[in-house]
Structure 1
Amino acid sequence: MKTGVLLSGGMDSISLAWWKKPDIAFTINYGQLAAAAEVAASTSFCKHLSIPHFVLDVDCRALGSGDMAGAKANIHAPASDWWPYRNQMLITFAAMKAISLGVTHLWLGTVRSDGSHSDGTIEFVNAISGLMSLQEGGLTISAPAIELSTRELIQISGIPSDMLAWAHSCHKSNVPCGNCRGCNKYFEVLGEIGYDLDRLR
């Protein structure tokens, strides 16, 4: 079995990669506003763990919606950070590269709270894994932390605090804006695991 992880550079995917130690990591620059910071965080993390890291550039910003694209939210958006078919798109791009490298299992950093979006549910992960497995390469998609909260994932992974600090969670900018859903989650989780938020802000 050869494993890969879809690494966004956020708390969830970095913690998952620390926990599971994949053979390869993939980061996608798909035109999101915080792409440079996500790539930088992912690259530094992979270099530290000696994980081969592939950055794929496919500019889809014109197709985006909401905070991550710097655009008005789509009429179907359940939240301000929703980008239509985003997870399906990212999994497909990563899979295109993964099968050329012999990857058989691709991991997603999806956690329980991502279930607020349809593409963050167990049903979605199972469905897209079934779809991928029907195609050449027989790739399996899974989300090992999908039943965990981010706090639980961090604790189970054992990721050191200095490594977790490399995570970039802002949806709107390469410099954390402090008021998007990504930044709010970042500070909320740090508070849950015992950080002094007054010192961080």
Structure 2
Amino acid sequence: MSSRSKKVVVLLSAGLDSTVNIYEAIKHRHEVVLALTFNYGQRAAVKEIECSAKIAKHLNVPHKVIDLPWFKDFNRSSLIVESEKVPTGKDVEIDNLEKSQDTKKSVWVPNRNGIFLNIAAAFAESLNATSVIPGFNAEEAVTFPDNTKEFMDKATQSLHYSTSNHVTVGCYTIHMKKPDMVRLGQGLKIPWEMSWPCYFTGDKWCGECESCQRAKRAFASANVDVKHLFKEA
């Protein structure tokens, strides 16, 4: 992303990716005119909203929650449908591509990031912001195509036609894996206890879902001790 100062809208779920991106945006002296958190019926909605609000308040950034109850009308994702089982524990193998492709089918939410980016772009145009910043990364892009640089670039091309000020999509972590993001976050002095990388709502991060397992490995690789944030086994 350009280091030139500008107004931006950040998609904030309080996960590692989006948290690092909002901190990076501020580091680059961009004016974050709005942090958007989406409630689409996901299991972690309560904690994502709560933690995102804390992060936004901590950074003195305007925060808004967008309710999307109609996601349930076209979803069988285990992140939304309570009767579906979210892969956890030994059902998750983050270094096994074939297994990850299989578990992806369970948690996949159709066009989620596409919908989020378009809504954020509409807010961006109305607020005279020129960019939308999602939390994408190279690690999950291997199995989730809506995390890729290609997707982000195509989204920018589309928004050139659907926003009068040609809103772009940019992401600081697009080429990073999770351990690199944690190291970057350490340099930014991110209070990790405010973040929420877990697929579930609870008192602590479950440590068993795919997102938690990736976070756990990332923190360990970066030699950052956050064991107290995970639920005890």
**Which TM-score band applies after superposition, normalised by the shorter structure?**
0.7 to 0.9
The answer to whether residue 22 in structure 2 is matched with residue 17 in structure 1 is yes
> How far apart in 1 are the matches of 2:77 and 2:206?
15
Task: State which of 170, 186, 189 in structure 1 corresponds to 2:218.
Answer: 189
Q: Matched residues, percent identical?
A: 25
- Secondary structure in 2 matching 1:172: coil
Amino acid corresponding to residue 117 of structure 1 in structure 2 = F
Provide the C-alpha distance between the structure 2 equivalents of 1:31 and 1:90, rounded to a whole number of angstroms. 14
Separation in 2 of the partners of 1:78 and 1:121? 18
Match of 2:56 among 35, 40, 46: 46
Between 1:104-113 and 1:63-72, the stretch displaced more is 63-72
Q: TM-score, normalised by structure 1?
A: 0.88
CA deviation string 1:64-112 (max 9, x = no partner): 3333113548xx9761321111110111222232222222101111011
C-alpha distance in 1 between matches for 2:202 and 2:123: 26
1:111 is aligned to: 137
Question: Any idea what the Cα deviations from partners look like across 1:123-150, whole Å, max 9, x if unmatched?
Answer: 1110011001112331111222111112
What is the identity, as a one-letter code, of the residue corresponding to 2:73? A
Q: Tell me, yes or no, if structure 1 residue 100 matches structure 2 residue 126.
A: yes
Shift of residue 198, structure 1, vs aligned partner: 5.7
Task: Give the unaligned 5+ runs of structure 2.
Answer: 1-5, 86-100
Contact kept? 1:7, 1:13, Cα under 8 Å: yes
| Counterpart for residue 95 of structure 2 | none
> Alignment partner for residue 133 of structure 1, among 153, 160, 166?
160
8 Å CA contact 1:30, 1:58 repeated in 2: yes
Q: How many residues align?
A: 198
User: Does structure 1 retain, via aligned residues, the 8 Å contact 2:39–2:65?
Assistant: yes
**One-letter code aligned to 2:216:** F
Asked if residue 62 in structure 1 is aligned to residue 88 in structure 2, the reply is no
CA shift digits 1:12-52 (9 cap, x unpaired): 11011112215121111121111111011111011011111
**Rg: which structure is higher?**
2
1:147 aligned residue: 175
Residue 184 of structure 2 is matched in structure 1 by 156
Q: 1:65 to 1:193 in 2, by over 3 A?
A: farther
Tell me how far apart the structure 2 counterparts of residues 88 and 38 of structure 1 sit (CA, whole Å): 19
In 2, Cα distance between equivalents of 1:174 and 1:198: 16
- State whether structure 2 residue 201 is matched by structure 1 residue 173: yes
Whole-Å Cα distance in 1 between the matches of residues 78 and 16 of structure 2? 18
Alpha-carbon distance in structure 1 between the residues aligned to 2:189 and 2:226: 18
- Residue 53 of structure 1 deviates from its aligned partner by 1.3
Pick closer, same or farther for the CA change 1:78–1:93 going to 2, 3 Å.
farther
- 1:108 maps to a residue whose letter is P
Structure 2 length normalisation: TM-score? Answer: 0.76
Q: Secondary structure at the match of 2:220?
A: helix
For the residues of structure 1 that align with 2:51 and 2:158, how far apart are their CA atoms? Answer: 31
2:110 matched to 1:84?
A: yes
Cα root mean square deviation, aligned: 2.2
CA contact (8 A) 2:21 2:171 kept: no
Q: CA deviation at 1:154?
A: 2.8
Indicate the SS of the match to 1:68: coil
Mark the runs of 5 or more structure 1 residues left unpaired by the alignment: none
